[in-house]
Amino acid sequence: MDVEACCPTTKMLNVDYLYLDLQRCDRCQSTDQRLEEALELLRPVLLKLGYSFKLNKIHMSTKDLALKYRFLSSPTIRINNFDLFETVTENECGCCSEISGHATDCRTFEEEGQTVNAPSVKFLIEKILLHILNKPKVNDLKPYVLPENLELFYQKKP
């Protein structure tokens, strides 16, 4: 039975994956692969719930893009402009430090009491489902300033 035929979708989830590097950064690559897997596993459930989704991968290649997207840390996953994770914690990312020639901190994730560099597929599925169930209505946009860490990354990047 065709899941899409039986359950017309009415709600769109725009999933934005914001990252610094998918060529050399292990953290960005792992999160990217796990996000794709989580979304594919969720596809039939989302369809049953009346959702469809579009995954937008956005390379934060310039300071201008970082400013446009109010980029705080790499990698970032947003659904309909809401960060999937409540807080931003970071540690030094060797890959991005090599790219920029400067010590660069990238995002970490708190999963089951541990700090990890890339969230698991299970954790991503849980966060996506919680986001849908909680249906955030208002995005409390705080004043944005490009983090100093990223300012240095873009200055030093060849």
**What span, in angstroms and rounded, lies between the C-alpha atoms of 6 and 97?**
49
Predicted confidence at residue 23, as pLDDT, reads: 95
- List the end-to-end C-alpha distance of the chain, in Å, as a whole number: 52
What CATH topology corresponds to 8-86+118-145?
Answer: Glutaredoxin (3.40.30)
Helices (H) and strands (E) in the chain, counts: 6, 7
Q: List the domain boundaries for the chain.
A: 8-86+118-145
Task: Decide which of 158 and 38 is more confident.
Answer: 38
Residue partners of 84: CB distance under 8 A and separation at least 6: 77, 78, 124, 127, 128, 131
Q: What is the pTM of this model?
A: 0.88
Predicted confidence at residue 2, as pLDDT, reads: 39
Is residue 76 a contact partner of residue 59, using CB atoms and an 8 Å limit?
no
Is residue 89 a contact partner of residue 82, using CB atoms and an 8 Å limit?
no
Please name the helix (run of DSSP H) or strand (run of DSSP E) that holds residue 114, with its range, or none.
strand 114-116
**What span, in angstroms and rounded, lies between the C-alpha atoms of 151 and 59?**
16
Predicted confidence at residue 3, as pLDDT, reads: 42
Predicted confidence at residue 13, as pLDDT, reads: 94
Arithmetic mean of pLDDT over the chain: 89
Q: Is residue 18 classed exposed, middle or buried when 0-12, 13-18 and 19+ CB atoms within 10 A define those classes?
A: buried
pLDDT (tens digit per residue) in 100-150: 888 899 999 999 999 999 999 999 999 999 999 887 766 666 788 999 989
